[in-house]
Amino acid sequence: MNNISKEFPGVKALEDVSLRLRKGEAFALVGENGAGKSTLIKILSGVYSNDTGEVIINGQMVNIKGPKNAIDLGINTIYQETSLVQDITVAENIFLGRQPQTRWGRINWKEMIESSEKILRNLSIPLSPLSIVAELSAAQQQLIEIAKAFSREAKIIIMDEPTASITEEDTENLFNLIRRIVKTGTSIIYISHRIQEIFVIADMVKVLRDGKTVKTMKISETNENEIVKYMVGRDIGNIFGDKSYQSKENIVLQVQNLTTSGMFENISFDLKEGEILGFSGLVGAGRSEIVRAIFGLDEIEIGEIYLYGKKITSRKPDDVIKMGVAFVSEDRRLESIIQGFSVKANITILLLKEVLSKLRLIKRKKENDLAARYVREFDIKTPSLEQLVMNLSGGNQQKVALAKCLSTKPKILILDEPTKGIDVGAKKEIHTLIKELANRGVSIILVSSELPEIIGMCHRVVVIHEGRLMKIFEKEEINEENLMYAAVGNM
């Protein structure tokens, strides 16, 4: 790719970025959110067209006309969200749209299953071609996606944050698969926010910032600190800062024997005023389900929840919000914000009562002022208040979600993976914000899969394993070893 530029209304997403990928090379692309990584791969995979510049594959200049065309050219992209059809088998997914046929035009199941088996075996993926995709874990589905891309004779496989939502063990499997694929001559472009991973898997790394190339380096000639420095363009210092905390003993939220069969069982804990309570455990352990149930999004079969000593009876989010609880979902695309709404409409949705005129109509100016205040306060980078949230970077989307939730001045804030898929700079801003809130007396439940985040931020940590509460760790017991042991069920 040579001198690629792309402009969106109000934003220069890419400026003169070039990328040289060799056969059989694993190339890492890093940068903060909004740096232009996604734009670059979307141009390669045919989702966007480039304004200027050229794409050359094997010495031939190509014009990528769309996603289908990109695949025909040998460029396969694996996004964070799965693109597999959930209700059919692995084999059908691998051969989707190009199923082998018998002479009579019917699908040749025998051949399809055998070929799938061979593909999976060659890549050492221990899955049956006859499993239904929906029954596989997220990590397993990812392996299938890669196998599918590989079987289509991909020359280039692009992976957008493949490890964002899988466990460490699954990550190891994924890396082994990538190594095997690279050996066959297929090239990989790998996007990740986890810098450590890059050193394990990549040959080259390119750092992008504000749509420009900052540096392209051989992985063997650089180190973690250098990459982070190039990414943020400044020294970020101690990531988490100190854990100042005046122990307060007022209990604000009390959860007793919460049970929903198949989800979680007998969960009891207290949340104190001004405390950051971590929820740790493996993905799928039931952490999200517990906090969602507290917020009224999911059902509870047995158990009681007390807010300031008063029992909550309502199971509706709007009532829970009125009682001073706010919740930021881990799913930015579908839940925590409305992607098709403007920045303004997202921020003010809980506060519209404050911008009404005497006739109970929304006053445009008042609403704009209010939204502008939050945009300033949370340092949300957007060309205008009317910009649709879907056009913002992940970090800025998350800030919009936080601004919305905090607009009601909640006493209890529940955050589900608040820094998932967010760059280092925005992550730090969000961490600082959480601490400030806690210092001001807001009680926070922080669900996170990142141990450093849990250890660096939380005053106490609840560990969940397969829907059961293993242990609540106090300050001095919180360390990686203890949390990991509890998370896998060893006490």
Partner 1 sequence: MNVQKQHTSFKFRRSLARFFFNQAMLIVLLVFIIGMSLVAKDFLTVGNIFNIIRQITVHGIVACGMTIVVIGKGMDLSAASILALCAVVNVMLQPFGYLVAIVAAVAVGFIAGFINGYLIGKVKANFIIVTLGTSIFYKGVALIISGGRNLKSRPERIFHFIGDESLFGIPVLAYFLVVTMVFVGILLHKTISGRRLYAVGLNDRAARVAGINVSNVVMWSYIINGLIISLGSIVLTSRLPRIRVGTASTYLFDVITIVVLGGTALSGGVGGIYKTAIGLFIFAIINNGMALLSIPFEYQQLIKGVILILAVLYDEFNRRKRLMY
Using the minimum distance from each CB to partner 1, give the nearer residue, 361 or 491.
Answer: 361
CB of 315 to partner 1, least distance (A): 12
Which of 340, 369, 373, 386 forms a contact with partner 1 (CB under 8 A)?
340
DSSP codes of every residue in 197-260: HHHHH-SEEEEEETTEEEEEEEGGG--HHHHHHHHHSS---SSS----------EEEEEEEEEE
Residue 334 interacts with partner 1 (CB under 8 A): yes or no: yes
Size of residue set near partner 1 by CB under 8 A: 36
Token representation of residue 327: 């919740």
Q: How far apart are CA 226 and CA 198, in angstroms?
A: 13
469-478 contacts, C-beta under 8 A, 24 or more apart: 469/266, 469/267, 469/268, 469/269, 470/281, 472/269, 478/278, 478/454
Based on DSSP, count helices (H) and strands (E) in the chain, helices before strands: 16, 20
Residue 68 interacts with partner 1 (CB under 8 A): yes or no: no
Cα distances from 109 to residues 100, 126, 306, 457, 470, in angstroms, run: 8, 20, 56, 53, 46
DSSP state of 360: S
Which of 79, 199, 269, 341 forms a contact with partner 1 (CB under 8 A)?
341
Using the minimum distance from each CB to partner 1, give the nearer residue, 163 or 407.
Answer: 407
Which of 106, 360, 365, 409 forms a contact with partner 1 (CB under 8 A)?
360
Cα–chain-centroid distance for residue 412? 23
Residue 356 interacts with partner 1 (CB under 8 A): yes or no: yes
CB of 187 to partner 1, least distance (A): 27
Using the minimum distance from each CB to partner 1, give the nearer residue, 183 or 353.
Answer: 353
Which of 106, 235, 361, 491 forms a contact with partner 1 (CB under 8 A)?
361
Q: How far apart are CA 332 and CA 382, in angstroms?
A: 17
Using the minimum distance from each CB to partner 1, give the nearer residue, 353 or 440.
Answer: 353
CB of 80 to partner 1, least distance (A): 17
Residue 388 interacts with partner 1 (CB under 8 A): yes or no: yes
Q: How far apart are CA 367 and CA 388, in angstroms?
A: 16
Q: What angle do CA 16, 20, 21 make, to 5 degrees?
A: 140
**Contact flags string 124-153 toward partner 1, x per CB under 8 A:** ------------------------------
Using the minimum distance from each CB to partner 1, give the nearer residue, 73 or 392.
Answer: 392
CB of 317 to partner 1, least distance (A): 5
Cα distances from 424 to residues 218, 229, 236, 405, 446, in angstroms, run: 22, 10, 9, 22, 18
Show Cβ contacts of residue 301 under 8 Å, excluding neighbours closer than 6 positions. 259, 260, 261
Residue 345 interacts with partner 1 (CB under 8 A): yes or no: yes
Helix (H, G, I), strand (E, B) or coil at 152: coil
Which of 148, 404, 427, 428 forms a contact with partner 1 (CB under 8 A)?
404
Q: Is 32 left (phi over 0), alpha (psi -120 to 50) or beta?
A: beta
Using the minimum distance from each CB to partner 1, give the nearer residue, 193 or 404.
Answer: 404
CB of 453 to partner 1, least distance (A): 22
Which of 121, 134, 349, 384 forms a contact with partner 1 (CB under 8 A)?
349
Inter-axis angle of helices 109-122 and 138-151, to 10 degrees? 110
Token representation of residue 218: 């051989």
Residue 65 interacts with partner 1 (CB under 8 A): yes or no: no
Using the minimum distance from each CB to partner 1, give the nearer residue, 345 or 454.
Answer: 345
Query: How many CA atoms, within 13 angstroms, populate the side-chain half-sphere of residue 318?
Result: 3
Site for partner 1 in 273-332 (CB under 8 A): 295, 297, 316-318, 320-322, 327, 329
Alpha helices in 123-215 (DSSP H): 138-151, 168-183, 195-201
Using the minimum distance from each CB to partner 1, give the nearer residue, 241 or 383.
Answer: 383
Using the minimum distance from each CB to partner 1, give the nearer residue, 243 or 363.
Answer: 363
476 by Cβ neighbours in 10 Å (0-12 / 13-18 / 19+) ranks as exposed
Residue 391 interacts with partner 1 (CB under 8 A): yes or no: yes
CB of 385 to partner 1, least distance (A): 15
Place of tokens 């694996």: 78
Site for partner 1 in 5-24 (CB under 8 A): 7-9
Using the minimum distance from each CB to partner 1, give the nearer residue, 210 or 270.
Answer: 210
CB of 345 to partner 1, least distance (A): 7
Q: How far apart are CA 275 and CA 298, in angstroms?
A: 24
Which of 337, 445, 447, 464 forms a contact with partner 1 (CB under 8 A)?
337
Helix (H, G, I), strand (E, B) or coil at 461: strand
Using the minimum distance from each CB to partner 1, give the nearer residue, 350 or 484.
Answer: 350
Residue 44 interacts with partner 1 (CB under 8 A): yes or no: no
Interface contacts to partner 1, rule CB under 8 A: 7-9, 48, 51, 295, 297, 316-318, 320-322, 327, 329, 334-341, 345, 349-350, 352-353, 356, 360-362, 388, 390-391, 404
